[in-house]
Amino acid sequence: MTKDLERELNEYLDTLKDKGLNKEERILNTPQSGEIEVNDGKKVINFCANNYLGLSNNKEVIEASKEALDRWGYGLSSVRFICGTQQIHKDLEAKMSSFLKTDDTILFSSCFDANGALFEPLLKKEDAIISDELNHASIIDGVRLCKAQRFRYKHSNMKDLERCLIESKDCRRKLIATDGVFSMDGDIAKLKEIVQLANKYDALVMVDDSHASGYIGKTGRGTCEYCGVEVDLISTTFGKALGGASGGCISGKQCLIDLFREHARPYLFSNTLAPAIAGGTIKVLELIEKENPYRIKTLENAKYFRSKMEEAGFDLVKGDTAIVPVMLYNEVTAVKMAEKLLDEGVYVIGFCYPVVPLNKARIRVQLSAVHTKEHLDRAIKAFIKIGKEMKII
């Protein structure tokens, strides 16, 4: 590396720091949970993990993962199609298909990889991908990897989606791609209308249910269950509600999953999911496929937190998920408030442009089944104290 380039990069990194835009990673001394200890020994209540069902540190999941480790070994050192498929991988795929009520499921190292795999095998330059403007980065990158024509509609705007469908009507194949739950507002995609429009214009639908699988819908099967529809493809992660380790999948119609097994590059050229993760995720699905008491707790917690915060006068984005955005609009206010809340033992993050639109800064609170009423009351009290101090309420 030349001295010039090194200097240039360091100067860039320094300006990020000067503007307070660099990412400082906070080190945790404990497993993920409702209450965690951060590296200065401070205990805080955690409201910024995607641990919706509270299973990230569940005893039965850990035990199942250990058993898988003992039975199947540490790793496969191979991609699936060479010598990287064990019965436990087929079992997880079958379990996921039965949970999502689909034909088949294909595993990936992450949902980011699943979305990287999803578009290119199916869509060529004579085809069209129609995307919600607020889709997750992994969908955007997956779309970039394929040569299909790109259309983008305003967030959850069905008129604008229809415009895209009309503009792309001469394309051979059309696919509408959307997040199921959008991470920054916690709102749910209008899947009923999307599927109706897809049927009208002969398009496929894919939903990324990473923020929904496990707790949205009557039995936690996700946004399709919530909206009462079926779609062609669902991608999702095991790294959020479904245990929180890592890994992801695409689930859907047999011919589509078969096509991905043949041609999806992150499947063909990347290592198998570790057996310990497959074993843990199977246990998560066993725990939630019958009763799913965790889901009820998560949603009760979200409802309680919402109602108390509204009562206190905070401006929240309305919704039915466990993502509760507390709107502050001003970027400095959002960051300051999050810092002050941390001093009060409440771990939340302020989100600013470009992660959210300009002047729409907020603190995103994520509720979990591991939160106790005492956790919630402590957090609400801290929000009210700091909110008054900063003249927000």
Ligand X SMILES: *Cc1c(COP(=O)(O)O)cnc(C)c1O
Residues marked as catalytic = 183, 211, 240
Closest approach of ligand X to the CB of residue 70, in Å: 25
Amino acid at 33: S
CA 323 centroid distance within chain: 11
Pick 211 or 375: Cβ nearer ligand X: 211
Told to check if 136 binds ligand X by CB under 6 A, we report yes
Q: Which of 243, 248, 252, 279 binds ligand X (CB under 6 A)?
A: 248
**φ, ψ for residue 388 (rounded to 5)?**
-70, -45
Dihedral, 116, 121, 126, 131 alpha carbons, nearest 10: -30
- Which parts of 98-185 are beta strand (E)? 104-108, 128-132, 149-153, 174-179
Told to check if 127 binds ligand X by CB under 6 A, we report no
Told to check if 251 binds ligand X by CB under 6 A, we report no
Report the distance separating Cα 335 and Cα 99, nearest Å.
39
Please check whether residue 247 is in contact with residue 281, taking contact to mean a CB–CB distance below 8 angstroms. Answer: yes
Closest approach of ligand X to the CB of residue 197, in Å: 21
Q: Which stretch binds ligand X (CB under 6 A): 68-76, 87-95, 146-154, 207-215?
A: 207-215
Q: Which of 86, 102, 105, 237 binds ligand X (CB under 6 A)?
A: 237
Closest approach of ligand X to the CB of residue 295, in Å: 18
Please check whether residue 203 is in contact with residue 175, taking contact to mean a CB–CB distance below 8 angstroms. Answer: yes
Pick 240 or 297: Cβ nearer ligand X: 240
Closest approach of ligand X to the CB of residue 116, in Å: 9
Told to check if 132 binds ligand X by CB under 6 A, we report no
Closest approach of ligand X to the CB of residue 355, in Å: 13
Pick 249 or 363: Cβ nearer ligand X: 249
Report the distance separating Cα 309 and Cα 346, nearest Å.
15
Report the distance separating Cα 158 and Cα 154, nearest Å.
8
Triad 255, 257, 262: Cα angle to 5°: 95
Q: Which stretch binds ligand X (CB under 6 A): 69-77, 110-118, 306-314, 322-330?
A: 110-118
Residue count at the site for ligand X (CB under 6 A)?
Answer: 13
Told to check if 183 binds ligand X by CB under 6 A, we report yes
Report the distance separating Cα 284 and Cα 296, nearest Å.
16
Told to check if 178 binds ligand X by CB under 6 A, we report no
Pick 70 or 141: Cβ nearer ligand X: 141
Told to check if 185 binds ligand X by CB under 6 A, we report no
Q: Tokens representing 337?
A: 């408030």
CA atoms within 13 A on the CB side of 334: 24
Q: Tell me which residue of 166, 195, 177, 172 sits closest to 130, measured CA to CA.
A: 177
Q: Which stretch binds ligand X (CB under 6 A): 22-30, 93-101, 146-154, 203-211?
A: 203-211
Q: Tell me which residue of 242, 245, 236 sits closest to 66, measured CA to CA.
A: 245
Told to check if 187 binds ligand X by CB under 6 A, we report no
Told to check if 281 binds ligand X by CB under 6 A, we report no
Q: Which residues pair with 104 in a beta bridge?
A: 252
Q: Which residues bind ligand X (CB under 6 A)?
A: 110-112, 136, 138, 179, 183, 208, 210-211, 237, 239, 248
